[in-house]
Each structure stands twice: as C-alpha cells, then as structure tokens.
Structure 1
Amino acid sequence: MLKAVRKSILQSGSDLKTLALLIVILLIAFGVILPGKFLTTRNFQSMAFQLPELGLLAIAMAVVMLTGGINLSIIATANACGIVIATILTHTVSRDASIAASIGPLLLAVLAGFAVSALIGLINGLFIAYVGVSPILATLGTMTIVEGISVLVTRGRVISGFPELLLTIGNSSVLGIPVSFLIFIIAAWLVTILLERTPFGQAVYMMGSNETATEFSGINVRRVTVLLYGLSGLLCGISSLIMVSRFNSARVGYGASYLLITVLACVLGGLNPDGGFGRIVGLVLGLGVLQMMSSGLNLLGFSAHLTEALWGVIILVILFLRRARGKGLGFGLQPPRRGKEAMQ
C-alpha cells in the first residue's frame, strides 16, 4: 500500500503539465482577444485579490476529498466564523480605533472565529468517524444547523464597521502582491508539506486508497478522520478572515456559489472524488485556470450566471472523460486500486 501511496503522489506529473499548458493557452488566447485588458498588472492584481478566499475553501474541500469524503458545510462554516469575528470586533473596538487599540480585540476575535470553525469541522469528523454517518449527510446536516444558528444570531442582517487593521488583511499589498494571496500561498504550502511529507498525510492517502486495509495496518482511521475534518474547518476560518476583511462585512449567505466551484477546482486539479489521488499543487493550478477563465469571460461581457453554468458543464465533461477513458480524471491519472492490489 505504501508504494501505491507514493505512486499516487508522483504520477500526477503529467496532470500538472497539462494544467500548466492550459494556463499558457488561456494567457495567449485572452491576450489576443483582449489586447491591453487581460495581460495587465491591474488585471492580475484583481485576480490575485479574488482568488484567496475561494482557494482556501477549495483546499478545505480537497483535504477531505483525498479520503473519499466531502464537506458540504464549508460555506456555512466560513460564514459562521466571519459572524463570530464581526460580532466580537463590533462590540469591543470602534471602526476608528488606532492600530495599537485594535490588535488585542482583533486577535481575540480571530482566535474565537478559528476555534468555532475548527470545532464545526471536528463535529463533522466525530459524526463521520464514530457515529458512522456518511460524509455527505453529516456535513449536510451540519451545514443546515450552522446556517440556522447564524440566521438566528444575526437575524439575517449584515454586520459591518471594522477597524482599519482588519481591512488591511484583505485589501493591502506587499510589493504589489496582495497580502491575502500570500496567506493563501503559505497555507497551500503548509498543507502540501502536511500531506506529502508527514505520516499523517501518508495515512490520508492510504485511507483514500483503501480504508479497511489502512485500519488493518495499525493506523487509527477514526482519529485521522476527525483531525482532517478539523483541519478543513480551520481552513474555512482562514478563508472567512480574508472574506470579512475584503468585504468589510459579515452575514449569512456570503460565498454561496463557491461550493460548486470548490468541487470543480478539486476535480480539475486532478483530485479523485473517490479518494487516494491528487495534490494541492494541482488544485492551485486548477484554481488558476478557473480564475483566468472567469476574469476573461467577465472582460468579454459574459453574464456571471452563464459562467456558473459553464462550471457545471466542465465538471460533467471531466467526469465523463474519466469514465470513458478509464483513467484518473481525464488528465492521465489511474483509478485508485482496491483490495489486495492496493496493499502491495
């Protein structure tokens, strides 16, 4: 099984090359179609500002998909975290407060928000690992409960009016690179190290390949599942921090359309919905492809609703190619092996 895990990580090289080539093609195509509009510093900065919150939610989805699971509560978790952060800040510090006066309340609010998001993830993991509820039903139930509590707390209203220190996270840049984008890249790098360089990450890939065999190999599958969903919740919290900072507000319903796109980004990035295969670097490239397509279509004047419909078509096409070719996800990946073959 260990050989299968290593192979699943290494054999995605062709997948990454295909995604990189697709990015180059999009750059050339939109550069020709939109001269002086697409290949500009302003447009790339705009894409870098828009990508991080979606990217972090996609990573939150990806880490559980590697085990064959899914987390339908990522949007509700992120919004709940944002509401906690916003509520604490609006009750402890004014919007005109100095940086020195804002540091303490901001740290308290962020830690409380992250604790809530991680707790929601851990609850998902406990239901899946110990109660035996399927991931789709457990996270659907959690999503409904969290959304209901969030509406009850906020009464559906928008919470706004945050100190300048918070707003700098989602709206400032360092050497022309958005701070939020740097946070996303650091988070993606750390998750990559966790998954590809640690025993915990190896266990995640093994579970996705064959959970029964993983359990017989001495790995505490339940513990790994709980921690993995906790990590997913924490990543939702980081995304929420950026979202609240960029929008200068928090409410129930933000990012509702992101759920479909996170699944699309995972599939496009080479992750197998059945688990066991995929890398975060592939997901990042997939996100780059989607962001470029979204930006290019927007500059061409296409409706945002038409773009969302296009995402759904792309998912179906990729899954069709996977089934038709009997390979990964249409990009040359092999299907996960089961039983004795996976244990070799």
Structure 2
Amino acid sequence: MKHWLAGIFMVALITGCKKKVETIYPQIQAISESVYASGVVKSVNQYQVFPKNSGIISSLKIKEGDFVEKGQILFEIANPSAKLNIENAELNFENASIKSNQERLRDAVIAKDLAYQKLKNDSLLWRRQNALWQQQIGTKVDQEQRKLAYHNSQTAFQSAEIRVSELRRQIKFAAEQSAKNVALAKSIASDFAVRAEVSGRIYSFSKEIGEMVSIQNPVAIIGDAKVFMLELQIDEDDITRVKIGQKVLLTLDSYDKQVFEAKVNGIDPLMNEKTRTFTVKATFIVQPQVLYPNLNVEANIITAERPKVLTIPRNYLVDEQFVLDKDGQKRAVKVGLKDFQRVEILSGITAQDAIQKPAL
C-alpha cells in the first residue's frame, strides 16, 4: 500500500514540474524598422563667437540671455592705436584728394596753355620767315632759327600735355589709394568690435570688462531664439540605412514620456574618427513649446515601414530562420523587417499556424 502511494506521489510531482508550453498565432499588424540615435537639441544657426583679435574687453554691449540683431556689437576689445590709424589715414586722404590738388593741376594746365600759345606764335613766325625766304628776303640763318624755335615749342607743348595727364593720373591714384587706406584702417578697427553674425539669442557669455579674450577660444554662443533642430549621432554600421526625408521618433529628458516627430534633412558626409559616428541633422515636425540648446535626445530613425504584415514576437524566432510548430518541430521561415519586439514573416507559416515559444 505504501509503495503504491509513493508511486502516485512521484507521478504527480513529475507532472507538476513539467513546464507549460506557450503557443501563439502570428498576427497581422504594422511593423517598422529603425536605427537608434542619440544627440542634442541645437538652435538653428547656432554658432560659437570667436574674436578676430586678441586683447582685453573694454566695453560690453550685451549679457547672457539677451536677444540681438545681426550686425549688433556684442563687445569691444581695447585698441588705442586704431583711432589714431584712422585719423592718420583720413588726413592722408584729405591731402591726396583731387580737391586738395586743384592748385597743382591748375598750374600744370596754365603751363600747358602757355606752351600752346607759344607754339602757335612760333608756328606763325616760322611760316612768315619761310614766306620771306621764298621771296629771297632775309637769311638762311633766320629761317633755320624760326624753324628750330617752332620745333622746340612743339616739343614743349607735348611735354606740358604729358605732365598734365600724368599729374591727373597721379592725383587720382593717390586719392583712390588713400581712400582704400581709410577703409582698411576702419576695417581693422571694426575687427576690435565683435558683432553678431545672426539675429537670435545669447545662450552663453561669461566674460567681463577687463578680461582677456583670444582668437583661439570662443567667448559666446548665439543661435535662433525660436527655431530649433536636432543633431544626432549615428553609428557607422547603420549610416547606410539613413536617408534624407526619413521620419524620426524622439524623446527628450525634459519632456518625460512624450514622443515627438522630426524629419531627417541633412547627413554630414565625414565620419568622426574618434567616435566612429556620423552626424545627422533633423527638424521637428511639431516643435515643443519650450526648448534650449544641448538638451539630450534619444531617437529612432524609421528606415522602413509595413502597414499590414504577418508578424511574430522576436523571442519566438529560432536561429533567425526557424520557428517551432505546435508539435515542437522546426519550420523554416523567411523574415523581413524587425523592430525591438516583433519580426515580419514573409513565408513559411500563416496566421492559422500555431507556434511554440522556444525553451530558454
């Protein structure tokens, strides 16, 4: 009797310990495949401000958080010689201007006119002397002297013409050169006044009057005050699957449990050799109301979508190419798209075929 009861107990124990087999039927539903990306929010036209000259800040026109217009002065760098250079260039310009050289030009024109009058007079005298000589009046020497005087006057007039033309050229050249020197001096001086390259907001600025700035180090960050974009990092293994125009689903740490949509609008072609990633840029479809640069982003770029396909859970797939039927036998299947939870079945089973969950 005791042996019989013990047998029944062992059978019940074995039966109770046997794992229950889980079976399901494939489902028709939508599936999408995506590439994971992480990144940050950036303001449109965001850039770092670098001064064009090193030096000490002499005046501040803005503070962190201010809104600025393109071309507005942000701060000025001390440059005592700049003002003197401009004044010196302006003095040279005034001295070299055409207006300031009118007297010189007038003297040259008068000299040319006198030379012309002398040329006409000597021409007349030579013709008269030549006519007299034809009548055998006067001497050969008189005729030669009149002819020589005429030729000398002709040469003198041509020289006077050349001097006037050359003087005009020199005055024009000097005026243009001095004007360019004034513009150059002002341009150099303007480089000591650092201006905003875009209209937007000062997102970062921590310098004070009297502090040193250099051309190697940025002193501020400026970007659009209202429009933001995404800068995402994509692993080199996934970059060939990313295309411009693809949809992006993203979450922000500052917006808990909310999912936002964006669209890929740019792919930087050069890989970062240190991180082995590519930078992909995207724009919001509907932008959140409040955003700031450098907010953390996690995103999935949708690389493919199917609206109604046969799918099974990924953990029901064996060796990426088999499933277990209801009797536990392997059946080959052809798979398509995969997401984190499900996989598309292209062939091998139907929605009426029950499949088992593989044992772990």
Fold match, TM over 0.5?
no
Instruction: Please tell me whether Structure 1 or Structure 2 has the larger radius of gyration of its CA atoms.
Output: 2
TM-score after normalising by structure 2: 0.19
Q: Whose helix fraction is larger, Structure 1's or Structure 2's?
A: 1
Q: Whose strand fraction is larger, Structure 1's or Structure 2's?
A: 2
